[in-house]
Structure 1
Amino acid sequence: MQESTTSFVNIAAYKFITFEGLEALRPQYQEICAALGLKGTILLTPEGINLFLSGTRTHIDQFLAWVRSDARFADLEVKESYSAEQSHKRMLVKIKKEIITMRMPLIQPELGRAPAVSPRDLKRWLDQGHDDAGKPVVMVDTRNAFEVDVGTFDNTIDYRIEKFTEFPQVIAANREALADKTVVTFCTGGIRCEKAAIHMQKIGYDSVYQLEGGILKYFEEVGGAHYTGDCFVFDYRTALTPELQPSVTVQCFACRAVVTPRQQLDPRYVYEVSCPQCSQRITSVT
């Protein structure tokens, strides 16, 4: 994908690693982001870093050079997309307990990951209908239900979870149904499926992979093959197409549901108040 001369660069990156001294580091991250005019969110946690940032090409590159000067993040990998505006409206640097909340302290990606499958190899598996060992491939979405509704891989198993902390229980309950299959977990950028795949290994899944780089890396490398819809993202763009362009959907301020262009014409869609989905639920209750 080619960058426009007037576009902003949007990056997503994370790394699981023991990370200490967060209270002292937070103002340093705040200072450089302010100096470079970056917008977005950075999570500093004892298990590593997670960031979503938007800025000019020059300023994003300067920020990444600064982060990678810390030896712990010298190999930090990023996923990029472009937009005419900055994809976030403010800059937040937060200290959290986990990069993504799972409440499973024994899951420590820093100590070893589950096997990963590259986007190109996954497409090949899906093209041929099985992995390289001849086992059927099953895609498991680790995202929340409202994200899945925006788009997902074809024939994906979707457990309709409302938050990631529900995933360990639901995947344990379905282990027998997935026996003798190669399971590929995936999410937006790789964080959730990285934890999910490790947990699945620990509870007895013998053939489980995570999609390297998540949906966004898959879009970047192979496009939308075997994928229907867009990919929800947590910024003003709401969702990205397989071409990594902002989709024409919006997100309801009240219930977080994705509202399509047709639904935006519905009188029940009121900006920052309601949409057809939550308006219907309110009507049913009353």
Structure 2
Amino acid sequence: MPISLFYHYTDLEDVELFARDLRSFGMKHNLAGRIRISSEGINGTFGGTESAVQAFHAFIGSRLNSPDVDFKVSEGSERNFPEGWKVRVCKELVTMGIEPEVASWKQAAPHVAPEQFREEILNRKEDVKENLIVLDVRNQYESAIGRFKGAILPPIRQFSDFPQYVRTNEELFRGRRVLMYCTGGIRCERASAFLASKGIAKSIVQLRGGIDRFLNRFPDGGNVFEGKNLVFDTRMVQPISNPTIVGRCIICSTKWDDYSNNFRCAYCRVRVLICNELSCTGVFIENRNGLCLSCRLQERHSDVRNKELTDGP
């Protein structure tokens, strides 16, 4: 079954009516997945039969009056969306916690193709004072299992932490060229706009289509991407032909990149990497005080003795 990941920023009116039409269309065509819609545009990931997915693509292109909606299609199954078909009306397509007009998608950085993105990474110099930096704008638990080589990995728990990270680290970006990337591209639209609004970076570009598009073009990582790409359905990760393990168990530091045991940070409830060794799972469950990297860096402590560590947020 094809799975489609997409977003499209555009000014939308009568969002509630559009949402109702989306719900009806999805139910009629037996689609499954999650769609977010706001006055900024539309964002989602979904799956269905090949004909149903193509029909949805045509419906969205017609409804938005745009041939430029970027649909990224990969293989999956109906089990990837056990919750069925969900359409949600939101204030922001991705929650940044910044008013859309302050960091508008209309001021987003230009896109570069996977080929150019890869070329710039391969050609970067090893000098610590180099002019080029690669910036991952995903959450820490995502970059923990896969990232571009040499990328800066902000220790953020959620996208709304990104603006404060930039404010705290302005000197990191001053006068430098920034290559920005995320899973499918949507977070980079506003992240690049926010960074650009600071007027500190020499230039900013974003990877068109994100890691998803990059791995479709370079299934083995192109010698610049290492690990796995975390995705937000039951697949957990996007298949890669030459995977390496870059994640590590937070207890024993052995190489580990599997979140399927669903352990959570005792403070913020974000996913954490715990290997299957009894000495690690046992300690984590018994002590109930394991913290993710973000919370450890902020020296957070929490009494969670009445919580189950495998619960969701």
Report if TM-score (shorter chain) is over 0.5.
yes
Letter in 1 for 2:95: T
How do 1:1-286 residues align onto structure 2 when only pairs under 5 Å count? 8-89=1-82, 90-105=84-99, 106-109=102-105, 111-129=106-124, 136-204=131-199, 205-223=201-219, 224=221, 225-243=223-241, 250=260, 252=262, 254=264, 255-257=269-271, 263-264=275-276, 266=278, 279=288, 281=290, 285=303
Partner of 1:4: none
Residue aligned with 2:80, SS: coil
Measured after TM superposition, the shift of residue 103 of structure 1 is 2.4
Identity %: 25
Offset from partner CA, 1:94-152 (integer Å, 9 cap, x none): 0000001112222121x34312221100111112226xxxx643111111111111211
Q: Say if 1:253 and 1:235 are closer, same or farther in 2 by CA, change over 3 A.
A: farther
Residue aligned with 2:214, SS: helix
User: Would you say how many aligned residue pairs link Structure 1 and Structure 2?
Assistant: 268
Within 2, Cα distance between the matches of 1:253 and 1:91? 27
Q: Are the aligned partners of 2:263 and 2:272 in contact in 1 as well (CA < 8 Å)?
A: no
Offset from partner CA, 1:241-271 (integer Å, 9 cap, x none): 33499x97526175452657xx34648769x
**Unaligned stretches of 5+ residues in structure 1:** 1-7
Q: Say if 1:167 and 1:277 are closer, same or farther in 2 by CA, change over 3 A.
A: farther
Within 1, Cα distance between the matches of 2:168 and 2:35? 34
TM-score, normalised to structure 1, is 0.83
Q: Say if 1:278 and 1:211 are closer, same or farther in 2 by CA, change over 3 A.
A: farther
Within 2, Cα distance between the matches of 1:201 and 1:278? 44
Partner of 2:309: none
TM-score, normalised to structure 2, is 0.76
Within 1, Cα distance between the matches of 2:191 and 2:159? 9
Q: Say if 1:118 and 1:75 are closer, same or farther in 2 by CA, change over 3 A.
A: same
Q: Say if 1:264 and 1:172 are closer, same or farther in 2 by CA, change over 3 A.
A: same
Higher strand share: 1
Please tell me the root mean square deviation across aligned C-alpha atoms, in Å.
2.9
Q: Are the aligned partners of 1:250 and 1:258 in contact in 2 as well (CA < 8 Å)?
A: no
